[in-house]
Amino acid sequence: MTTTAAAAHAAITDPTPTMASVFSAASTPARQADPGAQVLSVAQLRSLGVHPSTVTKRCRPGGPWRRLATGVVLLERGEPTRHQLLQAAVAYLGHSVITGVDALRAHGIGLPPPPAVRTLVSTHRRLTPPAFVALERTSRLPVPIIIEGLPFAPPARATIDAARHETEPDRIRRVLALAVRDGLCTLDELGEELGEGNQRGSAAVRVELRKLSRTDTCDLRSAAHQLARRCPLPPPRWDTTVFTRDRRHLGQVDAWWDDVGLAWSVAPTTSPHGGTRDEPSHLALAAAGVVLVRTDPSVLRHHGDLVVAELVGAFRQAARRPRPHVLADARVVAA
């Protein structure tokens, strides 16, 4: 018999009568009880055969159980773990999504737990949450990612929700940077989420996201320069704008091998704060005869050998073709 089943059985066989339980008005709809759970709603306990009056008695001072919220019971007397608090929040709220720092922790980021469990519910819900729950009503309730049986917000939503409730710029920047550096989401995804979501507290996040974007772009450019020096190719021109002979703009690329008409784009093509970078149009460049290599930032950082091989192959491909009739203006020429 599992721990939960044993506790429920003990409650069923307890003969002591009690007055009616306040838990009988629990707001959480009945759901199938997890046999291994230590946090259950009264509706779930009732489905296991436990009478509400028995729950009331066992939750009294000195009893073996503990009430965490109206209609939600911890089947032991000790302090609840963080995971049990998350379970209690969902058991109390019903249809809800855990977001913010707790969601980022579930996605694998090592942040300390916040004072309250930040949880999203639909705008029409009218609830008074327990003290350990920070409730946020939203018209954009995300489709949750289920981790260990609990509903968590997707990484970009969780990151922005966490950052919006930080008050110190360094802490905002750290939350944003950790999500990006751990590969949970991109700067573009964070910018999109910030633009579409609740604007309360977004101004400071927007500033830090803009700073992070500049830092990230600088890091990418530095990594690209280092990798280009490893390539058995002539040094390229950097930050180059490509035109047709009649000066019609085709696009801006990060590196350009003029002799063969090879272009390389490595930096993000859109900024996370709503602006746009001069994005190279691969269709326009290809139509003009330019060979364009586009490298994802994560591939550049973690799979440099693959990028080198791709650049060498693209250079050979471009060299076998007639050089396209294009012009290129570069601000910086590699040494």
Same domain flag for 243 and 144: no
Same domain flag for 10 and 34: yes
Phi/psi of residue 266, nearest 5 degrees? -125, -25
The predicted structure's pLDDT at residue 52: 86
Same domain flag for 59 and 166: no
Same domain flag for 126 and 76: no
Last residue of one domain, picked from the residues 65, 80, 95? 80
Q: How far is CA 70 from the centre of its chain?
A: 31
CA separation for the pair 45, 55 (Å, rounded): 8
Same domain flag for 76 and 126: no
List the one residue out of 259, 270, 218 whose CA is nearest residue 239: 218
Same domain flag for 313 and 256: yes
Number of domains in the chain: 3
The residue assigned the tokens 């009478």 is 51
Q: Which run of H or of E encompasses 272? A: none
The predicted structure's pLDDT at residue 36: 58
Instruction: Assess if residue 208 is contained within a domain.
Output: no
Question: What radius of gyration do the chain's Cα atoms show?
Answer: 28
Q: With DSSP H G I counted as helix, E B as strand and the rest as coil, what are the percentages for the chain, rounded to 5? A: 40, 20, 40
The predicted structure's pLDDT at residue 333: 40
The predicted structure's pLDDT at residue 215: 79
Instruction: Assess if residue 184 is contained within a domain.
Output: yes
Q: What tokens were used for 64?
A: 């073996």
List the one residue out of 216, 152, 153, 165 whose CA is nearest residue 188: 216
DSSP-derived 3-state class of residue 247: coil
Last residue of one domain, picked from the residues 80, 109, 132? 80
Instruction: Assess if residue 151 is contained within a domain.
Output: yes
DSSP state of 321: S
Last residue of one domain, picked from the residues 33, 54, 80? 80
Same domain flag for 315 and 246: yes
Strand residues in the chain grouped as ranges (E): 39-41, 66-69, 72-74, 97-98, 117-122, 133-138, 145-147, 150-152, 237-244, 249-257, 262-265, 291-294, 326-333
Same domain flag for 295 and 188: no
Same domain flag for 106 and 33: no
Instruction: Assess if residue 135 is contained within a domain.
Output: yes
Buried b / exposed e over 186-215, threshold 16 CB at 10 Å, is bbebbbbbbeebeeeebebbbebbbbbbee
How many alpha carbons fall within 13 Å on the CB side of residue 122? 5
Range of the domain at 253: 229-333
Same domain flag for 140 and 126: yes
The predicted structure's pLDDT at residue 32: 54
The predicted structure's pLDDT at residue 270: 44
Same domain flag for 55 and 151: no
Q: Which long-range contacts (CB under 8 A, 24 or more apart) does 319-324 make?
A: 319/260, 321/260, 321/261, 321/289, 321/291, 322/289, 323/259, 323/260, 323/261, 323/289, 324/261, 324/288, 324/289, 324/290
DSSP-derived 3-state class of residue 91: helix
List the pLDDT tens digit at each of the 335 positions of the chain.
Answer: 445 545 554 544 443 333 233 233 333 444 555 555 689 888 888 888 888 888 899 989 988 999 999 889 999 988 899 999 999 999 999 899 999 999 999 999 989 999 999 999 999 988 888 999 999 999 999 999 999 999 999 999 999 999 999 989 999 999 998 888 777 888 888 999 998 877 776 889 999 998 887 777 777 777 888 899 899 999 999 888 899 988 888 988 889 999 999 999 885 544 443 444 445 467 888 889 999 999 888 788 888 899 999 999 999 999 999 999 999 886 544 43
How many residues in the chain? 335
Instruction: Assess if residue 217 is contained within a domain.
Output: no
The predicted structure's pLDDT at residue 62: 87
Instruction: Assess if residue 71 is contained within a domain.
Output: yes
Same domain flag for 91 and 182: yes
